A and B are shown apart, each in its own frame.
Chain A
């Protein structure tokens, strides 16, 4: 690429182009095979590998145990490898590595996102002190030497290997057996039948289509998304608690701006991350009816919501925040930024949030909240949580808003709640689904709406079914059976029992509807 071409790319995007150019000149497949072979040998050197009988099929329990051992070996190896760069350097590099690197051996966008997240989590464990970087604030630059980029790519391949193990743990959770073969001497292949493979493919493909998460661990709908990518309308809606959320999206060319308020310069660039306003009125309604027992969760949630609330006006005021976040998912803050937010927001925001969420602790200033994240957020790769929210470079602080949004979802995990709260959550989900139907052309007429929560009975008074939510359009009637299932970390990790129980409940519900609808 010519220097004159690079000048056309808004600074610091040229670094992304230089990195991409290095990667284009690399043989990704050969790096993939070289690193994979090294990692295979690493596992082969361990006692658990030598002791396992490779002539027999591995039942699901034995398979999970074996893969967990492999997982630990890889985590230790990658933690050690991560010392080549500091945590801040890793974030900087990884957010500039194109999806193609994480997609080696897979066409799935979901796969790339998950692999990238694993790389970001492990890399955050680096103990290396950050070197002095070139530039300042959001124009930080690190080395783009080819050798350094090779090291980054090799690390990404390690993360891909770790991901492959995680997938096998999840497949074992779906009940599969495994067997070692000539082609799979270290990570045995699963023995799922054709139909199960078909079901897994459908699941993966559907997962690919999900751009914005729905906070499914709550077991209901707590978030409503506004103004996806409409940054010019970044303002709070009166009467509705709105916070910022930042989500990975399929890279698309998108118009953004750079420059101070009043003299913005708009331009188009490839966007990897989409800031969105999230209305939490449904979460507020749910939390009014429950007590969060864990003080640590209440504190961390409070600090997270404060940060994501304060970032809305902060993005609006900043000359570079929106552009940086859309490109990298993080914002680089200095002392001036923190002071400014404390002055402009301060106690007002916390008081407002306390009214909306009375069961959450909002006792921290933004400065205290940022320190709090560093002390309390513990990233994990099994189950996969989020990467750290804060990474430091001298006096600069990388605030990772992708991670903050992921952690909000991780902490809003109500899967362990049962009894009265489970019932409250279930009703909340039914109400939310009905609200969603009501916001479309399927809004039911009053006479149809009357059927909500009614137990339908046939002419002989026998029970048929409950109506949880309902809609109609012309001569079509829509009946929705709502299952307020909270998808826990165990589900995410592929726990066999958890996945099986949820699957059974839903498959029975589907069969039930078919039975009801079948003409007599």
Chain B
């Protein structure tokens, strides 16, 4: 985040913010931003199945 604190939130206790876009099924995306890994083994745009697996193994 540009700032970890805003008018109605305070993320200052977190060192890392992981932000992803989740869909019910795998969707076709092609842009660099959408295909990139937000975190190791975690693509920025991903289906709920992939998110579930990542959460269980990290």
Contact residues of A with B, CB < 8 Å?
A: 174, 195-196, 199-200, 202-203, 206-207, 209-210, 212-221, 429, 432-433, 436-437, 440-442, 451, 454-461, 464, 469, 471-473, 475-487, 499, 502-503, 506-507, 509-511, 513-514, 516-520
Main secondary structure of the interface of A (DSSP, over half): mixed
Further contacts, 13 of them, CB under 8 A, given A216-B25, A476-B18, A483-B21: A206-B50, A209-B50, A214-B49, A436-B52, A451-B9, A461-B7, A476-B17, A479-B18, A502-B27, A506-B34, A507-B31, A510-B44, A513-B19
Chain B nearest CB, measured from A201 CB (Å): 11
Tell me which residues across on chain B come within 8 A of A506, comparing CB atoms: 21, 23, 27, 29, 34, 45
Q: Known contacts A214-B47, A510-B21; is A459 also within 8 Å of B56 by CB?
A: no
Tell me which residues across on chain B come within 8 A of A457, comparing CB atoms: 6-8
Cβ of A199 and Cβ of B28 under 8 Å apart? Answer: yes
Q: How many A-B residue pairs have CB under 8 A?
A: 170
Tell me which residues across on chain B come within 8 A of A477, comparing CB atoms: 11, 14, 16-18
Range, interface on chain B = 35 or more
Closest 7 CB pairs of A and B: A216-B25, A199-B30, A510-B34, A477-B14, A507-B31, A440-B55, A475-B15
Within 8 A of A (CB), among B36-57: 36, 44-45, 47-52, 55-56
Cβ of B49 and Cβ of A212 under 8 Å apart? Answer: yes
Q: Which of A207, A499, A520 contacts B2 (CB 8 A)?
A: A520
CA distance A206 to B50 in the complex (A): 9
Contact residues of B with A, CB < 8 Å?
A: 1-3, 5-9, 11, 13-31, 33-36, 44-45, 47-52, 55-56, 58
Tell me which residues across on chain A come within 8 A of B31, comparing CB atoms: 507, 510-511
Q: Which residue of B lies closest to A500 (CB)?
A: B28
Q: Which of A174, A440, A451, A454 contacts B56 (CB 8 A)?
A: A440
Q: Which of A437, A476, A487, A520 contacts B25 (CB 8 A)?
A: A487
Q: Which of B9, B14, B24 contacts A216 (CB 8 A)?
A: B24
Cβ of B7 and Cβ of A459 under 8 Å apart? Answer: yes
Sample 13 A-B pairs with CB under 8 A, ordered by A number. A210-B26, A214-B47, A214-B49, A216-B26, A436-B55, A454-B8, A456-B9, A460-B7, A472-B14, A475-B14, A506-B34, A510-B36, A517-B17
